[in-house]
Chains A and B, each alone.
Chain A
Amino acid sequence: MIRFERVSVRYEGAERPTLSGVDLTVPEGELVLLVGPSGVGKSTLLGTVSGLVPHFTGGLLSGRVTVDGRDTRTHKPRELADLVGTVGQDPLAHFVTDTVEDELAYGMESLGLAPDVMRRRVEETLDLLGLAELRDRPIATLSGGQQQRVAIGSVLTPHPKVLVLDEPTSALDPAAAEEVLAVLQRLVHDLGTTVLMAEHRLERVVQYADQVVLLPAPGASPVMGPPAEIMKVSPVRPPVAELGLLAGWDPLPLSVRDARRGAGGLRERLAGAAVPVRADVAPTSGPVPAPVPVVAAERSLPGRLARLLGRGPAAPVTPAAADPVTRVDGLGVRRGRVEALRRVTLTVAPGETVALMGRNGAGKSTLLGALVGMIEPTAGSVRVGGLAPARTDPRAMVRRVGLVPQEPRDLLYADTVAAECAAADRDAGAAEGTCRALVSELLPGVGDDTHPRDLSEGQRLALALALVLTGRPPLLLLDEPTRGLDYAAKARLVGVLRGLAAEGHAIVLATHDVELAAELAHRVVILADGEVVADGPTGQVVVSSPAFAPQTAKILAPQEWLTVSQVRGALEAGA
């Protein structure tokens, strides 16, 4: 269906081609997954299919890409629109109209389909993607997951033979991602659509792939093969494959189900070993994160009544070893009519890592915003380092709390990485070069004079993280830090965050990435509809939940192993 013949792409001013020697054939009706570390040209390869590269982006494409016999050299993107549907990384940048229904119809209108056909397909697509209730809603008011589904729906309606998706599930919570993937699988199975997709979150998608194309390094030629084969050699692989390699399973399992079938032996070997209670992340120096009593379950005495009586929520019975960096009491935030947060109570101790999880729109970002002072609480109180963040001078706050926002580019103002670093050192009053050292650690191989906007999504996040970390704030907040990060970058991020936690930094991360939460968090707090519905040690909260359990936990349940590294540690200790 898609043929790449000796394709290479070189952008103007680039030293070496972004892609070279791509010789591939994507057969009809297959779901092909494109994997590889950040910055190897996955997006460029996807762009060549829709013709946006090079017709729209510029650059020089040599070789030939044909889609269903149409050569992208002679066909402009608009002439491929009935054949190829493309959804980019940022769904918001994709929308042309302002309501869901119009957006679904837009592509068909451009192609000139008959009104009754359009109407039928819009209704079908609304049902297929579960968007029927949102049909009249302005797109701007939808949550990220809903927007992603609308974006996919909007390219599905013209019934393209080829669907090209760039990280379709990165921004979604686990449940929404499952939904999107189920839709994609249905398209492949029932309609014979060919899907070419790039995704970092392999644990979500690799089991659905028929073939995997691996781009091992920038400019290196791609390797294509069955998923199990490629996962053996790939520098990026999901926990299930990692565990399979560790246990020496053959064939390599790609789904939890396959892995569970072969996991009996491993479970037996592990039965004797005690699950380390976050031994892998326990701080080696500095204050030991004390078990913080769960103070969320205070439903018996309504918060308002308690306030009326002049009694705050009961103080933790066993005081934490160190003073909590952060104390949130009965926090409420309203936006217009919407109560984004209700009676949220939370304490975070130094050296502790807390993962905030929950659906898109459950109030995770709002809670982080309140902790950093961007959002003023309408009820209750927030104390970070003894100060109320919203009422404190930002210059004082920056050394107490740092937030890496969901859109990391919001933090970037300067036009080179070096200037950005210098500004960060100045802002935080840190020694010169502090930030640059962090950048080198998180983002090896990025030059001083690179423009921040030329970085890939993952690189930009690493830069923003470095800027925030420059102030070495005792409380570090991260909003969806692994969006767009490959496993290598994620591993580096995990290393950095563990190091920070060991030094006594408290870390709160809002994330959909259950693997990240399992790797890092001492405690998981689950938010739903603006309320805390679960708060407890990661093992307990996460293992019992079908949506938030990491793959290792699902495979080895009922044993409470969370990560491959825990298992590896136990096996090595046992051997």
Chain B
Amino acid sequence: MTAAPARLLRRALHAPEADRANALPAGAWWLWALGLATAASRTTNPLLLGLLVAVAGYVVAARRTDAPWARSYGAFIKLGLFVVALRLVFSVFLGSQIPGTHTVFTLPELPLPDWAQGVRIGGRVTAEQLVFSLYDGMKLATLLICVGAANALANPARLLKSLPGALYEAGVAVVVAMTFAPNMVADVIRLRTARRLRGRPTGGVRAVAQIGLPVLEGALERSVAVAASMDARGYGRTAQVPAAVRHTTNVFTLGGLLGVCAGTYGLLAAQGAVYGLPLLLAGLVTAMAGLRLGGRRSVRTRYRPDRWGVRAWLVACSGAAVAAAMIWAGAVDPEALRPGVVPLTAPVLPLWPAAAVLIGLLPALVAPVPPSNRAADRPARRGKEQA
């Protein structure tokens, strides 16, 4: 009797092949990634950070497609490494406030005038200071890599499509703008190879300078052509809206935004904490209402919007759970999340927070599997048969 429900459950959880109908909403991936990023921002423990990066990397490896945006993950990892290196370089040359006793080496110190007190260039470099900057840099890098994971897993165009109707046109403009960068890169490559055909070298500064103008011209022409196509296909059609609704929309949106600004100021300023939060919330609600009303002007409908199903909730909640667990761990046992730098101690892996981070692997189990991973083998196999 117990075997049947277990099998049913397993079958239900078994990830299906991804297609348009069961695609996870871009928002779910972003919530998951932001959850991991929040967790990363709460700790400087290099082991936990490394675990977070590993979790994000594993999910990306298991669930990314071969779409162009999915290839950006590598770039984010490189960016993360660059951030760590930059943080270390700054720490070496500009010194640090961390008191330390283990001198690694001493750089010649640049004498600075009196008014530059507190600024130091060169001088003693301690192991504590290096370790501290390493931890700090790793934290930033992990944040970046988490954002990169969301970027690789979620189609940015689909994310913009889930904007409220009133913001739709701005969203399309952003999408079109985003497609320009890869197109321009492709143009540069094509034009550089085409230079060969005129008998000119393809490398060098002159090559880039000479094709610069054609590339820009090409981009401009393409944008005009896309604009013409969008116009001819009904972009920007509006519905007739009664004047009263229009005015209400304006009042709501503007009033709401003012409320948000005032509320945020109240929250951040020392005195206004009492009225800050309610004002912020009221402003948000009003602004949302304004946007909703504004959506009436837009006649457009949505084709197959992404559905928030069980899998989407699981993915989003797994990220949130990691964040919540880390925040809670930070409150209960701050020492474990922030390993001591002065005096230097080897970081230990706190068991429970580490286990919590592993919840972030859930998407690798429940999210639909992109079909390309399997389909990619097929032509190869067919090719073998032919040979």
Q: Which residues on A are within 8 Å of B, measured CB to CB?
A: 50-52, 55-57, 76-82, 84, 86, 88, 90, 92-98, 101-102, 105-115, 118-119, 122, 135-136, 138, 140, 154-155, 158, 337-339, 372-374, 393-395, 397-399, 402-403, 405, 407, 409-413, 423-424, 427-428, 453, 467-468, 471
Closest to B304 in A: A119
> Which of A52, A119, A374 is B303 in contact with, Cβ under 8 Å?
A119
5 A-B pairs in the complex with CB atoms less than 8 angstroms apart = A112-B299, A136-B19, A372-B197, A397-B196, A427-B199
Contact B175 A467 (CB under 8 A): no
B102 within 8 A of A: no
The A-contacting residues of B in range 14-68, CB under 8 angstroms, are: 19-20, 67-68
Contact B20 A78 (CB under 8 A): no
Q: Would A110 and B237 be within 8 Å (CB), given that A105-B304, A119-B304, A135-B20 are in contact?
A: yes
Q: Mark B220-246, 1 if CB is under 8 A from A, else 0.
A: 011001111111111111010000000
> Which of A79, A93, A424 is B237 in contact with, Cβ under 8 Å?
A79
Contact A110 B196 (CB under 8 A): no
Chain A residues, CB < 8 A from B179: 98
Chain B residues, CB < 8 A from A105: 303-304
| Segment of B127-135, B258-266, B326-334, B375-383 engaged in the interface with chain A | B375-383
Contact A395 B228 (CB under 8 A): no
Contact A81 B234 (CB under 8 A): yes
> Which of B191, B200, B201, B234 is A82 in contact with, Cβ under 8 Å?
B234
Contact A427 B200 (CB under 8 A): yes
Chain A residues, CB < 8 A from B300: 109-112
CA distance A112 to B298 in the complex (A): 9
Contact A118 B199 (CB under 8 A): no
Of B157, B179, B197, the most chain A CB neighbours within 10 A belong to B197
| Segment of B139-147, B210-218, B348-356 engaged in the interface with chain A | B210-218
B162 within 8 A of A: no
Q: Mark B279-309, 1 if CB is under 8 A from A, else 0.
A: 0000000000000000000011111100000
Q: Which residues on B are within 8 Å of A, measured CB to CB?
A: 19-20, 67-68, 155, 157, 172, 175-176, 179, 182, 190-191, 193-202, 210-211, 213-214, 217-218, 221-222, 225-237, 239, 299-304, 376, 379-380, 383
Closest to B23 in A: A136
Closest to A389 in B: B196
B176 to chain A, nearest CB (A): 7
> Which of B175, B214, B222 is A93 in contact with, Cβ under 8 Å?
B222
State the majority secondary structure of interface residues on B.
Answer: helix
Q: Would A398 and B303 be within 8 Å (CB), given that A86-B232, A110-B233, A410-B190 are in contact?
A: no
Closest to B222 in A: A93
> Which of B198, B232, B234, B239 is A424 in contact with, Cβ under 8 Å?
B198
Contact A403 B301 (CB under 8 A): no
Contact B19 A398 (CB under 8 A): no
Closest to A338 in B: B379
> Which of B197, B217, B379, B380 is A468 in contact with, Cβ under 8 Å?
B197
CA distance A84 to B218 in the complex (A): 27
Closest to B303 in A: A105
CA distance A393 to B204 in the complex (A): 14
Besides A86-B229, A395-B201, 10 other CB < 8 A contacts?
A96-B226, A118-B303, A119-B304, A140-B68, A158-B233, A373-B196, A398-B198, A403-B197, A409-B214, A411-B198
B36 to chain A, nearest CB (A): 26
Q: Would A76 and B231 be within 8 Å (CB), given that A112-B300, A135-B20, A394-B202 are in contact?
A: yes
Contact A411 B237 (CB under 8 A): no
Contact B237 A81 (CB under 8 A): yes
Chain B residues, CB < 8 A from A337: 376, 379-380
Chain B residues, CB < 8 A from A112: 237, 239, 299-301
Chain A residues, CB < 8 A from B191: 410
A246 to chain B, nearest CB (A): 39
B178 to chain A, nearest CB (A): 9
Chain A residues, CB < 8 A from B229: 86, 88, 93-96
Nearest 8 A/B pairs, CB to CB: A398-B199, A81-B234, A93-B225, A110-B234, A105-B303, A112-B299, A410-B194, A394-B196
CA distance A395 to B202 in the complex (A): 10
Of B201, B202, B218, B235, the most chain A CB neighbours within 10 A belong to B235
Contact A428 B304 (CB under 8 A): no
CA distance A467 to B194 in the complex (A): 13
Q: Would A94 and B225 be within 8 Å (CB), given that A78-B236, A108-B303, A374-B193 are in contact?
A: yes
Contact B234 A111 (CB under 8 A): yes
A77 to chain B, nearest CB (A): 5
CA distance A231 to B315 in the complex (A): 65
Of A50, A78, A405, the most chain B CB neighbours within 10 A belong to A78
> Which of A81, A136, A428, A471 is B232 in contact with, Cβ under 8 Å?
A81
CA distance A51 to B252 in the complex (A): 36
Contact A427 B302 (CB under 8 A): no
CA distance A449 to B155 in the complex (A): 46
Chain B residues, CB < 8 A from A395: 199-201
Contact A111 B237 (CB under 8 A): yes
